[in-house]
Chain A
Amino acid sequence: MNPQTITLLSFGHFDRGFLEKISEAVAQEFNCAVSIKEARLDLTGFFDPNRRQYNGDQLLKEVHSMSINTSKKTIGLFNVDLFIPILTYIFGQAQLGGPTAIASLYRLSNEKYGILPNDDQILERFKKEIIHELGHTFKLLHCYTTTCVMRSSTYVEDIEQKEAQFCPKCRNLLQSSL
């Protein structure tokens, strides 16, 4: 078992069962203990009224300040529309090789794209995005293997193409960075 531990820090209104399913997938992929924690945060200060979105850079810093133990990786889970100044939106972001990441469910639901809701699809997409961002905290870069979870996804259909798993090359890199 990997000595690292991963914390899923929930800031959204996520169902406990939903988070546990994610936790299982993360634990299996990183082969380490995964804990689920709930946190409260007033998001008003992170809201940009011009863009009507939440600033991902600032949220990442906030989550980082809440989890300074570097032997752990923490990912803040949100359900708000995230942006960074240079990009119109993001699904999540991470400190490359650092301890912290964030991911949001907001743009992963079918309803945002005028398609019928599908809970299983949302769960799968969120799992992939969380494993992807956590992968960056283990120094993994984007991968060009179509099915690898580290493949860059700039829109939701991209996420559908990949699996919630590392390709053998990324898995080897992950092992060596542990």
Chain B
Amino acid sequence: MEKKISILVVDDEDSVRDSLNLWFTEDGYRVECAENAKKALSILECGSFDIILTDLKMPGMDGLELLRRIRALNKDSIIIVMTAFASVDTAVKALKDGAFDYVTKPFDPDDLSHLIRNATKQISLTNENETLKKRVDSLENVEDLIGKSEAIKRVLKEIESVAPTNSSVIITGESGTGKELVARAIHANSLRKFYPMVSVHCGALTESLLESELFGHEKGAFTGALYNRKGRFEMADSGTIFLDEIATISQKMQVELLRVLETRSFMRVGGNKEISSDFRVICATNRDLKGMVEKGAFREDLYYRLNVMNIHVPPLRERVEDIPLLTDYFIKKYCLSMNKPNIAMESAALKRIMSYKFPGNIRELENMIERAIVVGNGKKISLKDLPFGKDVIDSSVESLDDFEKAFILQILNKYGWNISRTANALKVDRVTLYNKIKKYGLKS
């Protein structure tokens, strides 16, 4: 049931209090009256009101003083000051002290209706704003990190403790485990949440492109640089920069990055002006960075600067109990986006999904559910709607690299080695796909 708007009428004249009480009650508002400012303050100590209508001239404390006291109490009521003796000075004072409006008694009935209607509109806008803010906050928080397993609970706890700090964080975990979601949750729970979180997928960019992407460039810095461009570090000022696939950056970029992290300043490519930016760094990788440091493939000093805090996101196979919840979440998500009625999954299909190892983790599960909804009969997801035994590789392969190699080869063959279509199907960019082909020595 909708909450009634509450109004407190403060006036030393009985007839004014009685008339307004009756008028507002007939309009469906909850009304209370006080004959002076002192009484009003004692009423306000016990509760708050959406709207306070106060007379200006009252014996003892006047309306302006009451207005100041209410504001000092941090009450966010809408205050309307009424007076029989209007003057520009008092009106300006009242409005400066935070009154919503200043009106002269007696009112035209229509003006009174408008006044209250405007005030209630303001209240509903404020409430709507609050609700939206809460919704945005909760969406940005951890709603997308679904699960009830101990493993995911640990991740949530770590997010909670690390978020309010300003420390750099490395998020580790296999591909498709939701590392970017963790980064977003950290940002959304940090003091920087009202500023941007800028993401950079380092693996998708060549060294020169990454340099320009991170630091920006000046017009004419290289062929095609027709305009000045802000870099991601500059865009992340006061916010967070998320460097995904950090392990893929070159040695040269590692040096550059270390310098930026130490000085929090940089120069645009082709520029000669030092630019400062206040950002927090969150990185993610699916590789063993520590091992790379030991092998000399990743700078130790950079590693320690980035790895102030570490959050490891477990693979899906280590939190099997979350699969039904995730499945349900993706079914709802895709049914909604495809404008289909919400459908259920047959128990045999769910059982098969739960026994699968999911080398592609949650991303693979998500794709599987999306596909099942597309190809299914729209009533129930059954085993035949799932790709097991058709184009999904047997999960018995031991190494992730072996799996990835075989999987990429399979999709490449499926699309006749068309790089764009294969990259699109794998949901990676063309550069990443080329790198993988090179890495695994794949040939058509």
Chain A residues at the B interface, C-beta cutoff of 8 Å? 57, 83-90, 93, 96, 136, 141-142, 152, 154-155
How far apart sit A136 and B26, CA to CA, in the bound complex (Å)? 8
Q: Is the CB of B18 within 8 A of A90?
A: no
State whether B109 touches A89 (Cβ < 8 A).
Answer: yes
Residue pair B26, A142 in contact (C-beta under 8 Å): yes
Question: 24 A-B residue contacts at CB 8 Å?
Answer: A84-B15, A84-B19, A85-B13, A85-B105, A85-B106, A86-B19, A86-B112, A87-B19, A87-B108, A87-B109, A88-B107, A88-B108, A89-B108, A90-B109, A96-B25, A136-B26, A152-B26, A152-B27, A152-B113, A154-B109, A154-B110, A154-B113, A155-B109, A155-B110
Let me know if B26 and A88 touch, CB within 8 A: no
The answer, yes or no, to whether B226 is at the interface (CB within 8 Å) is: no
Q: Does B378 contact A (CB under 8 A)?
A: no
Q: How far is the CB of A160 from chain B (nearest CB, A)?
A: 15
Q: Which residues of A contact B113 (CB under 8 A)?
A: 152, 154
Q: Are B27 and A86 in contact, CB atoms less than 8 angstroms apart?
A: no
Q: Is B28 an interface residue (CB 8 A)?
A: yes
The reply to whether A141 and B27 form a contact with Cβ atoms under 8 Å apart is: yes
Once bound together, how far apart are the Cα atoms of A10 and B204, in whole Å? 88
Contacts of B106 in A (CB 8 A): 83-88
Measured CB to CB, the closest approach of chain B to A112, in angstroms, equals 15
Chain B, residues 95-121, CB within 8 Å of chain A (1/0): the string is: 000000000011111101100000000
Minimum distance in angstroms from B70 CB to a CB of chain A: 21
CB distance from A137 to the nearest CB of B (A): 11
* Chain B residues near A90 (CB-CB < 8 A): 109
Are A141 and B19 also in contact (CB < 8 A) when A88-B107, A154-B110, A154-B113 are?
Answer: no
A136–B27 Cα distance when bound, in Å, is 11
B261 close to chain A: CB less than 8 A: no
A142 touches B28 (CB 8 A): yes
- Report the nearest A residue to B25, measured CB to CB: A96
Q: CA separation between A93 and B106, bound complex, in Å?
A: 16
Cα(A136)–Cα(B25), bound, Å: 10
How far apart sit A93 and B26, CA to CA, in the bound complex (Å)? 10
For chain B, the count of residues having a C-beta within 8 Å of the partner chain is 20
User: Other CB < 8 Å A-B pairs besides A85-B13, A89-B108, A142-B28, 19 of them?
Assistant: A57-B18, A84-B15, A84-B106, A85-B16, A85-B105, A86-B15, A86-B20, A87-B19, A87-B108, A87-B112, A88-B107, A96-B26, A141-B25, A141-B28, A142-B26, A142-B27, A152-B26, A152-B113, A154-B113
In the assembled complex, the Cα of A85 lies from the Cα of B106 at a distance in Å of 6
Report Cα–Cα, A57/B21, bound state, in Å. Answer: 13
CB distance from A46 to the nearest CB of B (A): 13
Inter-chain contact B19/A57, CB cutoff 8 Å: yes
- Cβ–Cβ contact A86 & B107, under 8 A: yes
- Name the A residues within 8 Å of B18 (CB-CB): 57
Contact with A along B13-46 (1 / 0, CB 8 A): 1011011101101111000000000000000000
- Which of chain B's residues have a CB closer than 8 A to the CB of A141? 25-28
The residue of chain B having its C-beta at the shortest distance from the C-beta of A141 within the complex is B28
Q: What's the nearest-Cβ distance from chain B to residue A91, in Å?
A: 9
Chain B residues within an 8 Å CB radius of A87: 19, 23, 106-109, 112
Residues of A within 8 A of B28 (CB): 141-142
- Expressed in whole angstroms, the Cα–Cα distance for A85 and B25 within the complex equals 17
A10 to B220, CA, bound (A): 91
Q: How far is the CA of A70 from the CA of B209 in the complex (A)?
A: 88
Q: Which residue of A lies closest to B113 (CB)?
A: A154
Q: Tell me, rounded to whole Å, the shortest Cβ–Cβ distance linking B3 to chain A.
A: 16
Chain B positions within 8 Å of A86 at CB level: 15-16, 19-20, 23, 105-107, 112
